[in-house]
Amino acid sequence: MYKLLLILFIFVSTMLISIILFQDNDEIDISASSNNTKSPFNTNMSNKILTKSIILLASLFFIIGLVINNFNVKKYGKNNITFYNINKM
């Protein structure tokens, strides 16, 4: 289970990085004037799909990261000497 989550974590992080790096940033321009008729709400469908996929992958990234952390604490927390000595006091 741990290895499967680790492989999934690496896959999700790679997909997240690649989608963020390869997205088209032509519509986002800081120097654009207010005369531009484009509205931030009138985006095309591909940008909406990319945005939703980034949100989904980022959510999966944090959730899988927390689950992997929980596995590590359960596995290595019992063998840690300082953790054992604090609880003995």
Query: In the chain, pLDDT over 90 holds for what percent of residues?
Result: 37
Q: Is residue 30 part of a domain?
A: no
Structural domain range at position 55: 2-23+43-88
- Segment 21-41 shows an average pLDDT of 59
Question: Does residue 37 fall inside a structural domain?
Answer: no
Question: Three-state SS string across the chain, please?
Answer: CHHHHHHHHHHHHHHHHHHHHHCCCCCCCCCCCCCCCCCCCCCCHHHHHHHHHHHHHHHHHHHHHHHHHHHHHHHHCCCCHHHHHHHHC
- Each residue of 43-75: pLDDT tens digit? 566 678 888 899 999 999 999 999 999 888 887
Instruction: Flag whether 76 is in a domain.
Output: yes
Q: Write down the mean pLDDT value for the chain.
A: 77
In the prediction, which pLDDT does 83 show? 54
Q: Residue 77 falls within a domain, yes or no? A: yes
Structural domain contains residue 60: yes
Q: Domain count of the chain?
A: 1
User: Does residue 50 belong to any structural domain of this protein?
Assistant: yes
Confidence of residue 23 (pLDDT cuts 50, 70, 90): confident
pTM of the predicted structure, to 2 decimals: 0.63
